[in-house]
Amino acid sequence: MTTKAGVISSERETFETNLAKIEELSQRLIEALAQRKPINQALHGPDPLLYAEAAQAYWQEWLKNPAKVFEQQVGYWGKSLNHFMEAQQALAEGKLAPPADNGPSDKRFGNPLWDSHPYFNFIKQQYLINSEAIREAVDQIEEMDPKEKRRLRYFAQQITDMLAPTNFFATNPDALQKAVATEGESLVKGLENLVADLEANNGELVVRLVDEEAFEVGGNIATAEGKVVWRNRMMELIQYSPTTEQVHETPMVIFPPWINKYYILDLKPQNSLIRYIVDQGYTLFVVSWVNADESYRDVGLEDYIEDGYLTAMRVVREICGTEQVNVTGYCIAGTTLALTLSLLKKRGDKQVKSATFFTALTDFSDQGEFVPFLQNDFVDGIEKEIEASGILKSFIMSRTFSFLRSTDLIYTPAIRSYMMGETPPAFDLLYWNGDGANLPGRMTIQYLRGLCQKNEFAEGRFELMGETLDLRDVDVPLISITAETDHIAAWKDCYRGVQKMGSRSKTFVLSESGHIAGIVNPPSKKKYGHYLNPDLKLSADEWQDSADYHEGSWWPFWEAWLRKRSGKKVPARQPGDSEHPPLCEAPGTYVRVKANQ
């Protein structure tokens, strides 16, 4: 018979064993951190002058309008004091309960203890009061450049997000409860996860979002049948096997972004845009870009256009025996597709029959949520990083994108993995998101300086390949698909670029959801709808206000648009031909190269 004392003794022994494991893991942690290579400090935050400018502007506000500043401070003091006294009064009365007002709702504070336990409730409410005070202080600064103030607001929010009590073990009830329930085992597993992530990234902390062992490219994702029919230093060109007896005469080639791998369009059969296009009777080619290493230091946008876009379209036309192709560009590949179309216009080349743009920016006059990262201090830091390594490493880009949604993509996964000791989920989309690619140095600087900062393409003065490229030269029939909550390529910015394009046949589609889910939106899900409005002379807000809303995916609408521009039906084409024999099975070899190799 086991006594209560025996049970306690056993639990204590287990707890001490786990503490000993933590000590061992701590040594591995120190060793992993020692492998970390220094990164240019400019990539960790803004130039200190931003904060100095903010302090000066706040001081000027104090001198000019002290009553306003005092009002804000006294309001903050009053809320904090009232909050403290309510807690004190409850304790004095022997009521171990929080005030009736639990504060504003916040998904980070989902544990009932945040509302029912006086300790956690006090911490939560004071954090929310502090956060509100910081936001108000930034908002009230007037004597500051609007763009710099926008950056200050962003970095202030990053600081408050980082200091959330949920991010610290001692003030996270979920983590504390699990540590007690598992006799410290959750802490051991969490530390194992942390050490593993550091060791896998040479001492750099990159939070693992997904169980990477659950997926295999070409095994259970990226499985659509096809062949690599062309390969050069920039790309592999995949031609997909037909699933219909006849196909439209004009082939389609898709250029995906080279920041990530192409298989976002072929994660699994039920949400594969690649399979959908082939099933509708189209001959489809997709480019799989090389994952750049240091030897690609001097590769620029001109190389992507010449050895990527123009070569792919030439090979596609040769294999299919056609004079024209339909083309699609996604994200940065859509931006570069527009550059390519301008170049072809300058050359009098009419090989493109129609163009489709997926969440593609071409006018950067408003830098949107990327304002904090597109100013000289940050871009200067990227330039120095590229001078040292020849590339912009994938993890730097991934970290930048993650900080646009830091709570969802950094802190919440870190809490689950490192504090709770949970195994990351087996989620194909997150696996793809983590399978990034490095960017060539020259191309990165051309993109950041010439397009993003100087907006030279939209203003008709982007010099490339012996021509001055102009957005207004894009005059082929086109359709632009954008996403309503896209935080990478804001739909209103995409719309402004389409308005400037010179085509007389332009169609604009606004899908619900974001940068990925707005595009990977199969009809079978019946999840996200879309907006249509033929009047592109309206402002973006006016366009949406008067647009017709349609339930379900935009894919069928796009296919109907594409069908009108794809010619008659011909016998289905098998991948390759005598001049372009298949080199290997899809998904090819380039897609398998990891960014850290």
Enumerate the active-site residues. 331
Distance from C-alpha of 590 to C-alpha of 290, rounded to nearest angstrom:
5
Closest CA relative to residue 284, chosen from 591, 581, 573: 573
Q: Are 237 and 320 in contact (CB under 8 A)?
A: no
Structure tokens at 449: 């300086």
Q: Are 236 and 258 in contact (CB under 8 A)?
A: no
Distance from C-alpha of 132 to C-alpha of 104, rounded to nearest angstrom:
11
Hunting for tokens 């040479």 — which residue is that? 202
Structure tokens at 2: 């086991």
Q: What is the DSSP letter of 262?
A: G
Q: What is the per-residue burial (b if ≥16 Cβ within 10 Å, else e) of 523-559? A: eeeeebbbbebeeeeeebeebbeebeeeebbbbebbb
Helices 4-34 and 185-200, axial angle in degrees (round to 10): 10
Q: What is the DSSP letter of 417?
A: I
Q: What is the per-residue burial (b if ≥16 Cβ within 10 Å, else e) of 406-433? A: bbebbbbbbbbbbbbbbebeeebbbbbb
Q: Are 522 and 271 in contact (CB under 8 A)?
A: yes
Structure tokens at 86: 């309510």
Q: Are 223 and 58 in contact (CB under 8 A)?
A: no
How many CB atoms lie under 10 A from the CB of residue 499?
17
Distance from C-alpha of 56 to C-alpha of 335, rounded to nearest angstrom:
39
Q: Which residues pair with 481 in a beta bridge?
A: 358, 509
Distance from C-alpha of 574 to C-alpha of 437, rounded to nearest angstrom:
30
Structure tokens at 542: 């006016």
End-to-end CA, the chain: 58
Distance from C-alpha of 454 to C-alpha of 441, rounded to nearest angstrom:
18
**Cα Rg of the chain (Å, integer):** 27
